[in-house]
Amino acid sequence: MMQRTDALAAAGKEFDVCIIGGGATGSGCALDARLRGLKTILVEANDFASATSSASTKLIHGGIRYLREAALHLDFGQVGVVKRALQERVYMLRNAPFLAGTMEFIIPCYSRWELFYFGAGVKLYDLLAGKANLASSRVLSRKDTLQQLPMLQSEGLVGGVTYTDGHFDDAGYNLALVRTFADLGGIALNHSSAVALGCDSKEKLRSAEIRDEISKRSFEVRARVFVNATGPASDVIRRMASPSAKPRLKLSKGAHILLPLEQFGSSDAMLIPETSDGRVVFAIPWMGRLLVGTTDDPINEFGEVFVSREDVDYLLHHLNKFVQKPFVAEQIVGGFAGVRPLISADSRSTKSLSRDQEVEVDAHSGLISILGGKWTTYRAMAEDTIDAVQRSLHQSVTECKTRNQELAGSADYTTSYFEKLAGEYGVSPETARHLVGKLGTVATGVCALAASDPELGELIVNGYPAIHAEIVYAIQSDMAMSIEDILARRIGLQFYSWKLAAEAAPAVARYLAREYGWSDERRQQAVDEYAGKLRRMSETAGLGN
């Protein structure tokens, strides 16, 4: 259970380590540090997982496209990066099975050469995974390919190549990391921004000024070491610690759209292997929708990013080349965009072991920044970071325990757990499945609320299985502070349908108002702001409102 008032009260203590940034990387660092016995506080400016970590393609993968790049550019460093991620894939799948699973990806092939080329590529992917391989790749006949992907453009199709990767609920996974950290006695605070860093007489960082974005009051957090895990904002924090720090990141925007799954007609995913700009695009069944992405556009400033009309056109153009019945923009039910925090090529340390992530220790201030990486490798990045934290604390580096750390909600979980929940609490199987998919066995907390009051057992909106009890649970036990905290990251409705999310907003605001003592005016303002944001997202994607 996460209580923000308790966390705020505890923030006045002295900590071993303060982690700034509650995305995948920071939450992973916080959990690792706590498991090694360090007194740890995690501060997040917005909500946990509110930035890049809920805007991914939802793949737990080594990155099949990096293999191609490795081969094309004879860049064998990339092979090591892929291998490490493939090992991490196993831990991620194992430690939160209710949030992550495996999926078969099919690459449609329209010539014998493609069949050979992609077939060899996925075999290499299998080989690199070694014991960590999830299932053997396969070459499919034309008939079998069409059986698995019946909507595929059949003209000229020769066959297909399949491989298996992991997929997951990224926001859910991020929240499960934070819950596990809090269950172990860690202090986690969302809506709390680091706005300044303070040093001792030896110019080493010892404090941070944190602004509570809810009350707008500031307070001090004291710690012996500070970790900068702010993803795309990492250079800002680096400059807070050392104003002359040179930028290290190269930012790039990636967008996804969500379409009705029925027209896709398959539970397997498709990989579109070659786009006009030499990338790959995925079409993945996810949470009852078809998730299509991603784009890759360099940007200069981070902040909130939205799907643009160009993104929509690009993704539909590439998807429609492969399907018999084209999808149209009017079918889009939602979408999201995020910013990749890539390490810029010119700034890479030649000493860095892997090419896409780096732990940087600022010799002057002592700030430890964890830069780059990807969701799949969050745990390994955290391990490297907390090793560095222990060295900074002049401690011996102790064993990292996150490889086998089940996340909150995993204990006693089985794939049929939802049936038990439905039977015991009288919630519908669809709702039980949805709840377990979000919270694992922690979902009993929601069901107990629903059982105590029939109104809480009702659907929030027709067409999505979430119930009112989830709103109450999110507010009382899961640190949700806003409509978006609830509808996007905790319930998932915003990712399923912008329209249904707008419909659900007034009900969510009523519970928030009751819990936090909002006036009617404040409640209406929250609904209007949320509806305005959804409208902006839809309009920026060129879809009207």
Ligand X SMILES: Cc1cc2nc3c(=O)[nH]c(=O)nc-3n(C[C@H](O)[C@H](O)[C@H](O)COP(=O)(O)OP(=O)(O)OC[C@H]3O[C@@H](n4cnc5c(N)ncnc54)[C@H](O)[C@@H]3O)c2cc1C
Which residues, 6+ apart, have CB-to-CB distance to 378 below 8 Å?
24, 25, 27, 28
Taking CB under 6 A as the criterion, the residue among 40, 57, 162, 369 binding ligand X is 57
Task: Quote the DSSP letter at residue 459.
Answer: B
CA distances for 447 relative to 337, 431, 490, 539, angstroms: 33, 10, 15, 37
Stretch that binds ligand X, among 38-46, 100-108, 241-249, 507-515 (CB under 6 A): 38-46
How many angstroms from the chain centroid is the CA of residue 275? 24
Q: Does 78 bind ligand X (CB under 6 A)?
A: no
Q: Which neighbouring-strand residues pair with 253? A: 297, 339
Given candidates 98, 163, 375, 417, which one binds ligand X under the rule CB under 6 A? 375
- H or E element, residue 139: strand 138-141
Query: Roughly what angle, to the nearest 10 degrees, separates helices 170-183 and 24-35?
Result: 30
Residue 366 contacts ligand X per CB under 6 A = no
Please identify, among the stretches 49-57, 268-276, 320-328, 433-441, the one whose residues bind ligand X according to the rule CB under 6 A. Answer: 49-57
Q: Minimum CB separation from ligand X for residue 24, in Å?
A: 4
> Of all helices (H) and strands (E), which one includes residue 30?
helix 24-35
Region from 114-122, 128-136, 372-380, 415-423 binding ligand X, contact rule CB under 6 A: 372-380
Closest CA to 162 of 121, 213, 211, 130: 121
H-helix segments, 415-519:
417-425, 429-439, 444-452, 468-477, 483-484, 493-496, 498-516
**In terms of CB distance, is 20 or 359 closer to ligand X?**
20
Is 56 a binder of ligand X (CB under 6 A)?
yes
Task: Choose the binding region for ligand X from 34-42, 75-83, 371-379, 469-477 (rule: CB under 6 A).
Answer: 371-379
- Comparison of 21 and 108: residue with beta carbon closer to ligand X: 21
Q: Does 24 bind ligand X (CB under 6 A)?
A: yes
Under a CB-based contact definition with an 8 Å cutoff, are residues 358 and 13 in contact? no
Q: With CB under 6 A, what is the number of residues at the site for ligand X?
A: 38
- Comparison of 153 and 242: residue with beta carbon closer to ligand X: 242
Instruction: Residue 41: name the closest of 64, 63, 13 by CA.
Output: 13
> Using omega within 30 degrees of 0 as the cis cutoff, is the peptide bond preceding 540 cis?
no
Give the nearer residue to ligand X in terms of CB position, either 8 or 500.
8
Residues 267-296 binding ligand X (CB under 6 A) are 294
C-beta closer to ligand X: residue 23 or 465:
23
Q: Does 440 bind ligand X (CB under 6 A)?
A: no
CB of 433 to ligand X, least distance (A): 23
Q: Which is nearer to ligand X, 58 or 84 (CB)?
A: 58
3 state DSSP class of 131 = helix
- Single out the residue of 442, 435, 433, 480 nearest to residue 456, CA to CA: 435
Among 62, 108, 231, 409, binds ligand X (CB under 6 A): 231
Contact 176, 184 (CB under 8 A): no
- CA count, 13 A, side-chain hemisphere, 339: 22
Which region among 266-274, 336-344, 382-390, 412-420 touches ligand X (by CB under 6 A)? 336-344
Q: Is 373 in the site for ligand X (CB under 6 A)?
A: yes
Given 4, 36, 58, 523, the residue binding ligand X (CB under 6 A): 58
In one-letter notation, the amino acid at residue 389 is V
> Cα–Cα distance between 337 and 308 in angstroms, integer?
9
470 contacts ligand X (rule: CB under 6 A): no
Q: Should residue 119 be labelled a site residue for ligand X when binding is judged by CB under 6 A?
A: no
- Angle at Cα 30 formed by Cα 218 and Cα 367, nearest 5°? 65
**For ligand X, which stretch binds (CB under 6 A), given 55-63, 133-141, 179-187, 498-506?**
55-63
To ligand X, the closest distance from the beta carbon of 339 in angstroms equals 6
Judged by CB under 6 A, the stretch of 227-235, 395-403, 479-487, 520-528 that binds ligand X is: 227-235
Residues at the contact surface with ligand X, assessed by CB under 6 A: 20-26, 43-46, 50-53, 55-59, 61, 193-194, 229-233, 254, 294, 338-341, 373-376
